[in-house]
Amino acid sequence: MNSDTKEYLTSEQLAEMLGVSLRTVVNMRRRRQIPYVQLGHVIRYRRAAVEAALQSFTVKEITFVSRK
């Protein structure tokens, strides 16, 4: 496994990376907004998969056209 493409984070590390609370990460996981891997009670997040999933939240710029 290439460590660059398979970097896994804990919930705490992901919260710090995103600049949100741990509770927010847990809520996002429960709502299935971010992908995760669970082995027993251990939960990890693949950095690349989370970053790709968060792209769906990106708001595109909308150009306003005046109707005069």
* Stretch 13-33: mean pLDDT: 96
pLDDT at 8 over 80: yes
Q: What is the pTM of this model?
A: 0.74
* Residue 6 pLDDT level (bands cut at 50, 70, 90): confident
From the number of C-beta atoms within 10 Å of its C-beta (0-12, 13-18, 19+), residue 34 rates as: buried
Q: Shortest CA distance to 11 belongs to which of 24, 22, 19, 27? A: 22
Alpha carbon distances (Å) from 32 to 24, 36, 44:
12, 9, 14
